[in-house]
Structure 1
Amino acid sequence: MSAPDWTGPYRDRAVVLRTYRLGEADRIVVLLGQHHGKIRGVAKGVRRTRSRFGSRLEPGSHVDVSLWRGRGDLDTITGADSSEGTEQFAALRADLASFGRAMAMLEAVDRLTLERTPAPELYDRLLRGLRSLVTHPSALSVGAFLWRLAELEGIAPDVGGCVHCGAATGLVALDIAGGGLTCLPCRPKAAVAVDGETVAVLRGILSGGLAEALARPASAATAAVERLGVAVLEQHTERRLRAPALLDAVAASPDRSR
Structure 2
Amino acid sequence: MDPAIKRYLDEHGATYSREALRQSLVDAGHDSDAVDAAIAEWEAQRTGTNVDPEKRRTFGRWAIGLHVAALVAVFLLLVVLKGSTAIGLALLGCAALGVAMLIGWAISTLVGRALLPRAGVIVALVVPAISAFLLAGTCFALLNTSVSTPPRPGSVQLEILAPRAFEGSGAASCYVGGGSVGVQVNSGPLGTLGGKPLSVSLSWYGDDPNNPAPASGTSLSVFLDATGEGEAGPTSFSVIFSTKLVVDAAPDGLTGTIGFEGLASEPSGAPGQPTTPEVISGSVNWNCE
Q: TM-score per shorter chain, which class?
A: under 0.3
Structure ranking higher in helix proportion: 2
Q: TM-score, normalised by structure 1?
A: 0.23
Q: TM-score, normalised by structure 2?
A: 0.21
Higher radius of gyration, 1 or 2? 2
Structure ranking higher in strand proportion: 2
